[in-house]
Each structure stands twice: as structure tokens, then as C-alpha cells.
Amino acid sequence: MPGLVAGKVVLVTGAASGIGRASAEALAREGAKVVLSDVNAALGKEVAAAIRSQGGEVLFRAADVTDEAQVEALVAATVKDFGRLDAAHNNAGITGAVGAVQDLELEGWMRTIHTNLTSIFLCMKHELRVMQKARRGSIVNTSSGAGVLATPALAAYCASKHGVLGLTKTAALENARTGVRVNAILPGSIDTPMLQTFMKLSPETDKLIRGSQPGGRLGKAEEIAEAVVWLCSDRSSFVSGASLAVDAAAVCR
């Protein structure tokens, strides 16, 4: 039987590891032609090779998604390589600056906002221009449980992820009649290299993260990827402007 996204062309950013990698793998497994992008070219090419070895149709293109010229070139290359752009998972992000609001340096704040929020604005700006012309498309932006709940010492991260939801909802409304859907996923505490690095900051941090999951375990990147595939597919044709929590009830507290 054909996969959920068979024949679709999908762009995934932040695809070299974690949720982005799992998303790219799941999309390819479900029949999509996938363009992977990340600033880590070496790791990104490894991911592309692994997907290709499993029979997936995939290309890797390095890009810094905080740079508009590189984003514009990435989207244009996707269309050139595969003829169109049907869906995108805008996923690149970092934990960023850590500390109480009064202790944050502006440089750390700006880097977090640029990486987690401005990059999604830039990706959507150029993805939407292509999708609106085709009168079809689905965009999935990665927010976080921190997009709806405060987390001490992560003011910049929380602000950026709250911003992703506002940006997503606005774009969804603007495109309600264009054939383009825009949604966000809100992963809980997912066992990725980024989260593991953050948890190692201190025993207290590790305890806080593990305690935030009512189900008693960290999520798997593959579990987030399944939600991404569904939102990219035509099975979610009446879903737009949604903030889909995939967190085993963590934000229900």
C-alpha cells in the first residue's frame, strides 16, 4: 500500500539529528521525496546516506536557516531538484541561553531567538511563496511544551517557542483560503542529543526534566515524527492553525 505521503516533496530543517532526523526518516519511509538541511553538513550527509540505503529518495543541502539568502536558495533548490514543494517541517532549533532573565546576555538571547523563531519565519516566508502558487501545501513548525508553559532559566527558549505558536496561527489564518495548511507540534521531553546535553548540566536539571513527564519516561523522536508525517499528509486536510502537543499529557498539568 502507498505511504501516507507517497510522492510528496518535503523539506526538513534541522535534519542531522534528533527530531529532524526521525522526521526525515519517517517521511521517506512513508514515500516522500525528502530534502534534508542542517548546518552540520557532515552529519546531514550521513543521515541522507542512511535513508538512501533503505530505499528512500533523499537529498541533503547544507544551510544556515537564520540567513535569508541561504533559506531562499534552499527552497529554490528543492523546487529545482524535485519540481515542487508539497510540505515542510521547520525544525531547526537550540536550547540556547540558560539563566534567569536578569542574568541573560543580549548575545545569547538574540542567538536563541534567531535560531528558534526567526529561522521559522524565514523558512515559512519562502515556502509559502512556492506553496501559494501551487494552491496546496502543509507546513509543520516545531514549537515545544515550553511554548505554552514557563520553564525557569529558559526565558529565551520559552519566548522563542511561544513565538512559534503565534507565527503559526497567524500564517494559518492568512492561508485559510490558499490551500496551504500551517500547524505546530509541541514535543514534550524527548530523548534527543540536545535534551541529553541540557540534562547533564546538573542533577537538579536531570530530575526536573524527568519529573516533568507524567508518564514516567522520556519520549522518542520517532513518536514526534509520526505526528509530523500525519500533519504533512492529506489525512489531516482539515487541520490548520493547530498546536499539537505530543508529550504524554505533560502540558495538562
- 44-100 per-position pLDDT tens digit: 999 999 999 999 999 999 999 999 999 999 999 999 999 999 999 999 999 999 999
The answer on pLDDT for 155 being more than 70 is: yes
Q: What mean pLDDT do residues 110-137 have?
A: 98
The answer on pLDDT for 151 being more than 90 is: no
Q: Is residue 67 part of a domain?
A: yes
> Which residue's C-alpha cell is 541540557?
198
The answer on pLDDT for 198 being more than 90 is: no
Residue at 241: amino acid letter: G
Which of 84, 40, 82, 93 lies closest to 63, judged by CA? 40
Q: Is residue 4 part of a domain?
A: no
Q: Rounded distance, CA 86 to CA 167, Å?
A: 20
Rounded alpha-carbon distances, angstroms, from residue 87 to 23, 36, 77, 185: 12, 12, 15, 14
pLDDT band for position 249 (50/70/90)?
A: confident
Q: Is residue 2 part of a domain?
A: no
The answer on pLDDT for 159 being more than 90 is: yes
pLDDT higher at 228 or 206: 228
The answer on pLDDT for 127 being more than 70 is: yes
Q: Is residue 209 part of a domain?
A: yes
CATH number of the domain within which 48 lies = 3.40.50.720
Rounded alpha-carbon distances, angstroms, from residue 197 to 192, 206, 209: 9, 10, 12
Q: Rounded distance, CA 27 to CA 185, Å?
A: 16
State the first-to-last Cα distance of the chain, in angstroms, to the nearest integer: 40
DSSP 8-class letter at 188? -
Q: Is residue 95 part of a domain?
A: yes
Catalytic entry in 82, 109, 157, 198: 157
Domain that holds residue 220: 9-252
Q: Rounded distance, CA 253 to CA 251, Å?
A: 5
**Residue 157 catalytic?**
yes
Q: Is residue 101 part of a domain?
A: yes
Angle subtended at Cα 127 by Cα 121 and Cα 133, rounded to the nearest 5 degrees: 135
Average the pLDDT over each of 25-34, 150-159, 211-220 and give the range with the smallest value: 211-220
The pLDDT assigned to 73 comes to 98
Which of 117, 115, 141 lies closest to 128, judged by CA? 141
> pTM to 2 decimals?
0.93
The answer on pLDDT for 24 being more than 70 is: yes
The answer on pLDDT for 253 being more than 70 is: no
**3-class SS of residue 60:** strand
| Average pLDDT value over all residues in the chain | 93
Q: How many CA atoms lie within 13 A of 61 on its CB side?
A: 21
Most confident of 67-71, 153-157, 189-193: 67-71
Q: What mean pLDDT do residues 177-197 have?
A: 88
The pLDDT assigned to 180 comes to 98
Question: How many domains does the chain contain in total?
Answer: 1
The pLDDT assigned to 199 comes to 65
The answer on pLDDT for 197 being more than 80 is: no
DSSP 8-class letter at 247? S
